[in-house]
Structure 1
Amino acid sequence: MITLDDLQSSVSVSHDLARHFDFDTGRAASDNSWIKLAPQQAFTVLAGDSSGGVFLAYGDGEIEQRPILYASSEGQAGSLAPNLTALLAMMMALPGWQDVLKFSSNGNLKEMRRTARLLEQDGPDDEQLLAATQRLMRELAIPVLADPVSLLHDCVHAGDCNVVAEDGQRYEPLFGLFTSHDNPFWKGMTS
């Protein structure tokens, strides 16, 4: 089990996660008084991203074994993984996880798989990202997931917790209504 201390005690690990995966443990110390969960339960912010979103572990038990929820600064929220180790494994396998959700046709697994394949084909060979992924996998002993798209799909669908805005409205789900066909850059690509 990967611990929060494992992420924070290594400068290179913290740097790689922040720079290449937009998972910045240094942003966890920001004011998080705006976060209200429904149903109400304990939470710990693990990291933030560059757009103001947060990753948090919620519920009871050890932080690293709690489910992970993501709340965007645009009013979307949902569970991403059953624990910190699974979250990191999913991020290593799907660095474009947010686009997989955005172009998911409201959480359709088949569409999510298609989007993941298109992202893989479309993405430039980013040697720095590949090197960072290899370093993190090795240094943290991150497991390889057999089906990261299915994990993401199942966790978002099964989420048992949400964020509530100041006006009492629940945040929107993480699944987007777009399909991969809606992305003009993927029009001529096959998956």
Structure 2
Amino acid sequence: MPLTPEVLTALGEVVAWLGSLDVSFATDEEPWFTIDGVESPRQIGSDGSGGAVILLPPQNVLYVSSEGRAGVIADSFDAFIQLVVARPYWLDILKFSAGGDLQEMRRAADALEATLDDEDDVNEAREEIRSALDLPEASDPVGALYEAVAASDAIVRATDGSPFTTLFNRFSIDSNPMLRNAAA
């Protein structure tokens, strides 16, 4: 049976473990954005920074940040959960992507993994989620994230009609001393 938001939310312990990785599946919020060609966006989750996780037809997962950035981040709900488990700091990988450079994203992922604050807690969450969902480890989560964002053609707009920008940000890990040192 494929993983769906409904199947996942029925598994309270897994939802709690995902919450420790900064993804919440409790959604009662009205959308504060529109998506061209999508009449009623289906928000399935959110993160601690106020971003929304949207399930688009057929199964693409769109992320809309509270800072005016948006894009498809996974081609399926399964791939989204694999991304969150493998790289819970996926949004930071995009922040330090140097405008969408895959090699820079890989450097950022390695540096971010090296600087995890609660590595034991994150690893325990990863193991518990993978075990409960019988979820295989993602073979290349950074590459899949890059491909999804690069191919994203969803146009998300603020309530005033202005379009959101790409999730790729211009920073690199070299602009952050902690990450630069972790990468050395």
What TM-score do you get using the length of structure 2 for normalisation? 0.93
| The 10-residue stretch of structure 1 (49-58 or 174-183) with the greater mean CA deviation from structure 2 | 49-58
Whether 2:7 is the aligned partner of 1:21: answer no
Q: Which amino acid aligns with 1:57?
A: L
- CA gap of 1:52–1:188, structure 2 versus 1, over 3 A, is closer
Counting matched residue pairs gives: 183
SS at match of 1:69: strand
SS at match of 2:149: helix
Corresponding position of 1:47: 45
Q: Which amino acid aligns with 1:3?
A: T
Does structure 1 retain, via aligned residues, the 8 Å contact 2:53–2:61? Answer: yes
SS at match of 1:164: strand
- In the alignment, structure 1 segments of 5+ residues that lack a partner are 61-65
RMSD of Structure 2 on Structure 1 (CA): 1.5
Does structure 1 retain, via aligned residues, the 8 Å contact 2:111–2:180? Answer: no
Corresponding position of 2:54: 56
Does structure 2 retain, via aligned residues, the 8 Å contact 1:102–1:176? Answer: yes
Alignment of 1:1-191 (within 5 A): 1-18=2-19, 20-26=20-26, 28-32=27-31, 34-60=32-58, 66-124=59-117, 126-190=119-183
Offset of residue 42 of structure 1: 4.8
SS at match of 1:187: helix
Percent of aligned pairs sharing the same letter = 31
Cα deviation digits, residues 6-56 of structure 1 (max 9, x gap): 2211221111112x2221111x22122x23102435531111112211100
- Residues in 2 aligned to 1:190 and 1:48: alpha-carbon distance in whole angstroms: 29
SS at match of 1:29: coil
Cα deviation digits, residues 78-133 of structure 1 (max 9, x gap): 10000100000011111110110000001000100011111122224521221111
Offset of residue 151 of structure 1: 0.3
- Residues in 1 aligned to 2:95 and 2:117: alpha-carbon distance in whole angstroms: 20
Q: Which amino acid aligns with 1:30?
A: E
SS at match of 1:70: strand
- Residues in 2 aligned to 1:190 and 1:17: alpha-carbon distance in whole angstroms: 27
Q: Which amino acid aligns with 1:177?
A: R
Q: Which amino acid aligns with 2:167?
A: L
Q: Which amino acid aligns with 2:29?
A: S
Offset of residue 155 of structure 1: 0.2
SS at match of 2:50: coil
- Residues in 2 aligned to 1:104 and 1:77: alpha-carbon distance in whole angstroms: 15
| The 10-residue stretch of structure 1 (70-79 or 123-132) with the greater mean CA deviation from structure 2 | 123-132
- Residues in 1 aligned to 2:109 and 2:174: alpha-carbon distance in whole angstroms: 13
What TM-score do you get using the length of structure 1 for normalisation? 0.89
